[in-house]
Amino acid sequence: MSGKLSGKVTAITGAARGIGRAVATLFAAEGAKVHLVDRIADELETVGAAIAAAGGSASAHVLDLRSPADIAATFAEIEASEGRIDVLVNNAGVIFFKPIEETSVEDWNWMHEINLRAPFLCCKAVAPGMKARRAGSIMNVSSNAGIKGGVDEAVYCATKFGIEGLSRSLAVELGPFNIAVNSITPGHPVHTSMSETTYGEAQRKIWKDPSEIAPAFVHLALQDSSGIHDEYVRAWDLACKIKAEAAT
């Protein structure tokens, strides 16, 4: 590894599994100080131990993203211990498929609390410090469901369309402070615990390991508002471009 993220303080939600785990692992390998945020304590500990064993720096924070108070306290703790947060990856998310008439208010609230309210609160927590330092990168993980509707996905699509609106608005608001804000979608079927429950046979035949799209997140972590900013990024396409450029 080239140490591209040497010394950068990063926070990643949903870091215990899947894309979050792959991104955290690569961030640490590239020299970042990684703060792992998830509710799954045992798997979070496993990720942190693996990063430490490989010589990286990782701290685990067991957090229920449905709690605004706990989000604020966790990010305040990171800021207090590190002095700053340079990169935020809002990756955590949940999904279910239900016809609209079978979707309860409780279903709506649960998914919005995790998929949309939590990213808003995490962005709110890091924005003051990033603005004061006039530096930072925020990545909000989106989906094809953020630009296109789907059957039995009214609530999930609403949250991901919300992520797009949040990202576009924050890009305008925080861009003048040299902060890059982007939404990022896998851009290709990726094998995660979530996709094991949502993908059909055709997608399973071509799915990729999350580690294959992680380089796109590293690249975005290095951006400011003069670079890749206010974009809907397809991680697979960007990772392939990075790989091709490295080979030339």
Residues with a known catalytic role: 156
Here the tokens at position 246 are: 């490295």
Could you please report the per-residue DSSP string of 83-142?
S---EEEE---------GGG--HHHHHHHHIIIIIHHHHHHHHHHHHHHHHT-EEEEEE-
Q: Give the phi and the psi of residue 56 in degrees, each rounded to 5.
A: -95, 175
Question: What is the phi-psi region of residue 156: left when phi exceeds 0, alpha when psi lies from -120 to 50, beta otherwise?
Answer: alpha
Here the tokens at position 124 are: 């709110």
Here the tokens at position 132 are: 């004061």
Q: Residue 99, Cβ neighbours under 10 Å: how many?
A: 9
Torsion of CA 109, 40, 74, 234, to 10 degrees: -70
List all residues 6 or more positions away from 151 whose beta carbon is below 8 Å from its beta carbon: 97
Give the Å distances, CA to CA, from 140 to 28, 42, 46, 137.
19, 25, 24, 10
The answer to whether 230 touches 182, Cβ cutoff 8 Å, is yes
The partner residues of 62 in beta bridges, in order of sequence, read 38
Give which of 38, 152, 165 is closest to 90, Cα–Cα: 38
- Judging by DSSP bridges, how do beta strands 33-38 and 9-13 pair with one another? parallel
